[in-house]
């Protein structure tokens, strides 16, 4: 099989017949492409198929991991990706099935040679991002998300594993070089070389000014060094609201192909950064008290996830490690600084056209979208400026709320001023 070529619908069906026993003795199957960027699917990088046995209704997802970003290739943009990440996906899912049962999909078939993995179809659940865009108030999942992050940060770290186990896992997962991919996307393409990216022309000057600011550049260099050199635990790396399925109080986390050893704060920063983007997008929509209340809900959601994570990981440190109270406090101080930095970077990286999040993409009017993007830039800058000063998650939320008030006040003041003139 040519690993550079995408399977067709017919080839995917043929593959599952000839290479697996999943649909044994059934000639009645249907195959559907899942390659899109919608409220139900967020398939940018790979080739995805939903395959169903019409006789008994069983459904599976066949994922072909490509050596490039599929969506970018369609648009004639080359973004190469490491082929070995298929192994990261398979073995990270095995790890999480043991440490966080029922939080990740079950794998039915793995073919590392052809970069194919087949796993359970997550039916009846909805993407967290989809729920947030609809303005739904999801319940009882903050602790589930926090539990996943806390257990990963502990059980894959040297605080739990012996030295041989720790470095064995670290060396295995980092063969895929996923950290290099994120270094390019989050640091180089988003901040250090923004001129190469397409973006809303109404905010282009603001983005360029942001990226050229000396204080920002120094902050970026500092966290970039830590990101590339500190390997504390296994991390998902693409942990955000489009990679979490939810229903009632259950979650399923997927797209783990970029799993690597790095800073656990990166996952938290990616998640909170995307939640803040949803918060920001509401400023690009018509103002209402309902939307303002939803912004408060989002900040409360962020606070619950973070505080629950800190409590759970802190408990694991106290019960199952030799860390002192001072060492635990130092760990969380550094974790917060890193998280704040990754929040800022994530926000900026999702403003460019190529990686524009659905929260902002749904705002079709460019001027209205500009309002939301300008606010996001302002938030990102303020968080970066204060990434060593903010001492807890409540302070972060207070800063966001304050900037929101000032931002809207200034917009209204300018509108009144123009009307009078």
Instruction: Supply the pLDDT for residue 44.
Output: 61
> What pLDDT digit, counting tens, does each position of 96-109 carry?
999 999 999 999 99
Instruction: Supply the pLDDT for residue 69.
Output: 65
* CATH for the stretch 126-420: 3.90.1200.10
> Where does the chain hold its CATH 3.30.200.20 domain(s)?
9-120
| Cβ pair 66, 46 in contact under 8 A | yes
Residue matched to tokens 């790396």: 237
Instruction: Supply the pLDDT for residue 79.
Output: 64
What would the mean pLDDT of 201-227 be, rounded to a whole number?
A: 98
Say how far apart CA 303 and CA 232 lie, in whole Å. 24
Considering the chain, what percentage of its residues have pLDDT values greater than 90?
80
Provide the CATH topology of domain 9-120: Phosphorylase Kinase; domain 1 (3.30.200)
DSSP string, 235-274: E-SS-STTSEEEETTEEEE---TT-EEE-THHHHHHHHHH
Would you place residue 24 in the very low, low, confident or very high pLDDT band (cuts 50, 70, 90)? confident
> What pLDDT digit, counting tens, does each position of 141-190 carry?
999 999 999 999 999 999 999 999 999 999 999 999 999 999 999 999 99
Say how far apart CA 62 and CA 77 lie, in whole Å. 25
> Does the pLDDT of residue 75 top 90, yes or no?
no
> Does the pLDDT of residue 319 top 70, yes or no?
yes
Would you place residue 74 in the very low, low, confident or very high pLDDT band (cuts 50, 70, 90)? very low
Would you place residue 73 in the very low, low, confident or very high pLDDT band (cuts 50, 70, 90)? very low
Residues near 264 by Cβ (< 8 Å), separated by ≥ 6? 149, 152, 153, 232, 233, 235, 335
Phi and psi angles of residue 378, each rounded to the nearest 5 degrees, phi first:
-60, -45
Say how far apart CA 203 and CA 331 lie, in whole Å. 37
Would you place residue 287 in the very low, low, confident or very high pLDDT band (cuts 50, 70, 90)? confident
The predicted model scores a pTM of 0.92
> Where does the chain hold its CATH 3.90.1200.10 domain(s)?
126-420
């Amino acid at each position: 099989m040519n690993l550079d070529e995408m399977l067709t619908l017919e080839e995917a069906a043929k593959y599952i017949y000839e290479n697996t026993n999943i649909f044994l003795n059934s000639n009645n199957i249907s195959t559907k492409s899942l390659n899109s960027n919608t409220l139900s699917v967020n398939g940018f990088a790979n080739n995805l198929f939903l395959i169903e046995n019409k006789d008994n209704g069983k459904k599976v997802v066949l994922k072909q991991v490509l050596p490039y970003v599929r969506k970018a290739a369609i648009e004639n943009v080359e973004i190469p990706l490491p082929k070995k990440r298929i192994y990261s996906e398979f073995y990270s899912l095995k790890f999480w099935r043991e440490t966080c049962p029922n939080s990740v999909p079950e794998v039915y078939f793995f073919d590392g040679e052809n970069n194919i993995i087949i796993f359970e179809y997550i039916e009846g659940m909805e993407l967290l991002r989809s729920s947030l865009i609809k303005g739904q108030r999801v319940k009882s999942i903050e602790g589930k998300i926090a539990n996943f992050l806390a257990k990963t940060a502990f059980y894959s770290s040297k605080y739990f594993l012996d030295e041989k186990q720790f470095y064995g896992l670290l060396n295995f997962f980092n063969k895929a070089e996923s950290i290099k991919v994120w270094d390019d996307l989050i640091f180089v393409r988003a901040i250090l070389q923004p001129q190469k990216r397409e973006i809303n022309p109404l905010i282009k000057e603001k983005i360029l000014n942001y990226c050229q600011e000396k204080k920002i550049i120094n902050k970026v260099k500092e966290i970039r060094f830590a990101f590339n050199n500190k390997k504390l635990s296994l991390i998902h790396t693409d942990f955000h609201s489009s990679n979490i399925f939810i229903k009632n109080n259950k979650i399923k986390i997927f797209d783990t192909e970029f799993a690597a050893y790095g800073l656990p704060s990166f996952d938290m920063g990616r998640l909170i950064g995307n939640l803040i983007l949803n918060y920001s997008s509401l400023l690009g929509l018509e103002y209402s008290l309902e939307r303002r209340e939803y912004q408060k809900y989002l900040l409360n959601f962020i606070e619950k996830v973070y505080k629950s994570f800190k409590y759970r990981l802190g408990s694991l440190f106290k019960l199952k490690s030799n860390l002192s109270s001072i060492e635990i406090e130092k760990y969380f101080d550094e974790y917060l600084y890193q998280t704040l930095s990754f929040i800022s970077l994530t926000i900026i990286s999702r403003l460019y056209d190529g990686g524009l999040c659905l929260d902002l993409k749904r705002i079709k009017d460019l001027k209205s979208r500009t309002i939301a993007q300008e606010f996001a830039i302002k938030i990102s800058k303020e968080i970066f400026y204060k990434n060593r000063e903010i001492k807890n998650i409540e302070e972060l939320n207070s800063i966001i709320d304050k900037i929101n008030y000032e931002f809207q006040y200034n917009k209204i003041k300018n509108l009144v001023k123009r009307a009078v003139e």
